[in-house]
Structures are given as structure tokens and as C-alpha cells.
Structure 1
Amino acid sequence: MKTRAITGFFFVIVMLGSVLLGQYPFGIFYLLLIILCQREFYGLIKQSGFKPNLVWGLINGFFIYTVFAIIPFFNANALIFHKLLFLIPVTLSVVFIQELFNKTEAPFSNIAYTFLGLILICIPFTFFQAMAYVKGDFNFHFPLAFLLLLWANDTGAYLTGRQFGRTKLFERHSPKKTWEGFFGGMVIAAGVALIISHYFNDLPWNRWVAIAILISCFGTLGDLVESMFKRSINVKDSGGILPGHGGLLDRFDGLFIAAPVVYAYLYLVLN
């Protein structure tokens, strides 16, 4: 428990620092996270007997995130960098080409898992990074609020589920999650959203509460999906990089589905 608490403390400090230190540390930090999370994901897939294309999975993850990340930096010359988007189909096609030369029994499974690493990890982090620019210039309010609401939901779900949990939410994939915990996490996240609305006036209070509800629903879904993935390959933790907490995928599973949904909501209400 002590190790878990110490790791959690430093994890929170690093995450908050990545958002508050400005656009360059913010962009670089999440690029690093993409690479580490993809390596962890592909490593787990290899344990199950498949052979995803690690090199080109990482190259495509790096390229996709970088292209979308640098476009907001250079608004005056945005059209120049938009042209880089047309190179993405080329780099993605290399995954298919290389599999033609590999002598494997399940080439399309390897291809599918390579692309799943991009869809499950690279794309959500790209959307999360884009939250900081949803109003144009860099604004740390939205990604910071997202993290705070995600943590509030997770903490609230854990505490209320432990105290009042009786009805299983999805026992087949996550035996410890309960409906009581789910709604408890949602209520606490909504309360934190009300507090955030007093300090960040980018949105009215009801919009912040709506974001909290979205994070509770889709963050929990992401957690369940990651649990389903781990059970399908018979592993308990996705890794051991965070002592007492497992791997990076275990820490960011709530972000993987919630981030694109919240970004879409922000884009619609702000435009």
C-alpha cells in the first residue's frame, strides 16, 4: 500500500506538470506516453502468440500524433502542415507491405493488432492533446479538467463501490466493479465539475457537469474494455512500470475512449 501511495503521488505530480508547464512539454510528454503505451500493448500481444509490427506501429503512432500536434503551433502556415496528413496512408500501407514478406500463419491478425495499437492508444492521446487547442490557442484548462474529473470518477467509484457496492456492473470482465460504485463516481465527478466551473469560466457549470458525466460513462467503458483485453490474453496487469499500479495501460484505460468523446463534445459546444 505504501509503494502504491508513493507511486500514485509522483504519478499525479508528473501528470499535472505535463499540463501546466506549457505547450511544448505538454506535447512532448504525451508523445512519449504514446510510444511507451504502444510498446506495452504490442508486448502483451506478443505474449499471446501474435506478432504485431512493432517498428511500424511505433513509427505510425509517432507520425500521426506529431502531425496533428504541430498543426496548432503554426496557425499562420497551417496549410503547409496539413499536407503532411496525406503521407499517413503511405506510412500505414507499409504495415501491409511488410506483412507480405513475413512468413507468419496469421498475417491479418498481426496487421489487425498493429492497427489496434494505433486506434486504442495513439488516436485517443491525439484527441487529448487537441483538447488544449479546441479554442484555438493553447489552453491547459480542458486537459487539466479532464484529468481531474477522470481521477475524481475513479476515486469516487472505488470508495463508494467498496463501501456500498452490491450489484455487479460487469462481473464477467471486472468482478469488483459495481453499479453503486459507478453512480458514486459519477456524482463525485459532477461535484468536482461544479468546483472547476468556479475557477475555469470557459464553460458554464452545466457544461462542465455534462463533461463529468461523459467521462464517468466512457471512462468506465474504457476500463471495462481494457479488463476484457487483459482477460483475453490471461494477464493481470498490463505491465510493471508503475510499482503498485501495474502498467501504463492500466492507468490510462479510462482516457482511451473518453478523450475522443469529450473532445467531440467540446468542439460542438464551442463552435
Structure 2
Amino acid sequence: MKTRAITGFVFIIVMLVSLFSGAYVFTGFYILLSLLCLNEFFGLSKNTGVAVNRLAGFLIGAFVFGFYAYGRFQDVDAKYALLLIPLIALVFIWELYRKSDNPFSNIAYTFLGIIYTVLPFVCYYAIAFIDGSYNYHLALGFFLLLWTSDTGAYLFGVKLGRNKLFERHSPKKSWEGFIGGISTSAFTAYIVSLYFTEYSLINWLTMSLIISCLGTLADLVESMFKRSINVKDSGSLLPGHGGVLDRFDGLLISAPIVFVYLYLITY
């Protein structure tokens, strides 16, 4: 428990520093974080007998995130996005030279990893630039809503949990915890709306509902993946917590939907 607490505290400090240190540090940190999550997904894939193309996957993931990030700082001609095409083709061509009985799965899991890990982080990154320039308020607000939802779900679940939410994939999750997480996140949304006034209370409450509901489902999806291969943690990078993917699983489905919501109400 002590190791878990120390790791959690240090990681929160690192997260906050990345948010408060400006756009460039924020960019570098989340490109790195997305690739670490991709690496852990590829590691999980290996347990299924699939041999993903790690190098090509990292190149495509880094290009997608890097190209979008560069566009936030400099005007970039959209035609350069076409460079992604040869990188994608590389995955298929490379498979010709690999001795594998599962070329379909190797190619499919390589792209699935990018879709499942890197693209959600791009969406989260885009939230911080939703009004055209870097603003840490929305990025910080997102994580405050996600963290308090997770914490509330855990505390309410431990104290009041009786009815299982989705026992097949996560026996410890309960409906009481789920409702507690929504309530805790909604209260946080109210507090956040008092300080980060770019968006109204209704908008923050809507975001909290999206994050609580879809964050829980995203957690269940990762649990489904891990249970299917009898793995407890996605990695061991964070002592006491497992892998990076374990800590950010709630973001993977909720961030893209929050980004779409903010985009629709902003433009």
C-alpha cells in the first residue's frame, strides 16, 4: 500500500507539472505517454500469440500524434499528412518478410493498438487546444473529473457495494460504486465550474457524466482484454499500480467523446 501511495503521489506531481509547464512540455509528455500505452497494448497482444509490428506501429503512432501536435504550433500543409500512407503500407509489406502463421492478426492488432491507445490521447491533447491555443483548464478539469469519478466509485463501492455492475469482467465493480462515482464527479464539476469559467456549469456537468459513464465502460473493456489472456496488469512501469495503460484506461473511450462534445458546442 505504501509503494502504491508513493507511486501515485509522484505520478500526480509529474502530471501536474506537465500541465502547468506549458504547451511544449505538455506535448512531449503526452506523446511519450501514448507510446508507452501502445507498447503495453502490444505486450498484451503478444500473450495472444500475435506478433505485432512494433516498429511500424510506433512510427505510425508517433507520426499521427506528432503531425497533429505540430499543427497546433505552426501552419502545416495538409498534404504532408499523405506521408502516413507509406507508413501504413509498410505494415502490410513488412508482413511479407516475417515468418508467421497469423498475418491477418499481426496486421490487425498493430492498427488496433494505435486506434485503442494513441488516437484517444490525441483527442485528449486536442481538448487542451479546443479554442485554438493551449489552455490547461480543460485538460486539468478532465482529469479531475476522471480521478474523482474513479475515487468515488471505489469508496462508495467498498462501503455500499451490493449489486454487481458487470461481474463477468470486473467482479468488484458495483452499481452503488458506479452511482457514487457519477455523484462525486458531478460535485467536482460544480467546483471546477467556479474556477474554470470558459464553459458553463451545465457543460462541466455534461462532461462529468460522459467521463463517469464512458470511463467506467473503458475500464471494463480493458478488464475484458486482460481477463481473456489471464493477465492482472498491463505492465509493471508503475510499482503498486501496474502499467500506464491500467492508470489511463478510463481516458481511452471518454476522451474522444468529450472532445466531440466540446467541438460541437465550441464551433
Alignment TM-score > 0.5, same fold: yes
Confirm whether residue 270 of structure 1 aligns to residue 254 of structure 2.
Answer: no
SS at match of 2:250: helix
Q: What residue ranges of structure 1 are gaps of 5+ in the alignment?
A: none
Residues 26-105 of structure 1: matches in 2 within 5 Å? Answer: 26-74=26-74, 77-78=75-76, 80=77, 82-105=78-101
SS at match of 1:177: strand
2:130 matched residue in structure 1? 134
In the TM superposition, what is the alpha-carbon distance from 1:107 to its structure 2 partner?
0.4
Identity of aligned residues (%): 54
Q: How many residues align structurally?
A: 267
CA deviation vs aligned residue, 1:135-180 (integer Å, no higher than 9, x gap)? 1111111111001100000000000011101111110001100111
| TM score, norm. by length of structure 2 | 0.98
CA deviation vs aligned residue, 1:200-242 (integer Å, no higher than 9, x gap)? 0111101100000000011011100000010111101111111
Cα distance in 2 for partners of 1:221, 1:16 equals: 25
In the TM superposition, what is the alpha-carbon distance from 1:83 to its structure 2 partner?
2.0
In the TM superposition, what is the alpha-carbon distance from 1:36 to its structure 2 partner?
1.3
Q: What residue ranges of structure 2 are gaps of 5+ in the alignment?
A: none
> Which amino acid in structure 2 is aligned with residue 241 of structure 1?
L
Confirm whether residue 184 of structure 1 aligns to residue 180 of structure 2.
Answer: yes
Stretches (4+) displaced over 3 A: none
Cα distance in 2 for partners of 1:256, 1:89 equals: 24
Confirm whether residue 24 of structure 1 aligns to residue 19 of structure 2.
Answer: no
| TM score, norm. by length of structure 1 | 0.97
Cα distance in 2 for partners of 1:233, 1:64 equals: 29
In the TM superposition, what is the alpha-carbon distance from 1:60 to its structure 2 partner?
0.5
CA RMSD after TM alignment:
0.9
Cα distance in 2 for partners of 1:136, 1:213 equals: 25
> Which amino acid in structure 1 is aligned with residue 34 of structure 2?
I
Cα distance in 2 for partners of 1:133, 1:35 equals: 20
2:156 matched residue in structure 1? 160
> Which amino acid in structure 1 is aligned with residue 252 of structure 2?
F
Cα distance in 2 for partners of 1:232, 1:18 equals: 34
SS at match of 2:64: helix
SS at match of 2:261: helix
In the TM superposition, what is the alpha-carbon distance from 1:44 to its structure 2 partner?
1.8
More off after superposition, 126-135 vs 43-52:
43-52
In the TM superposition, what is the alpha-carbon distance from 1:102 to its structure 2 partner?
1.6
In the TM superposition, what is the alpha-carbon distance from 1:186 to its structure 2 partner?
0.4
Residues 89-128 of structure 1: matches in 2 within 5 Å? Answer: 89-128=85-124
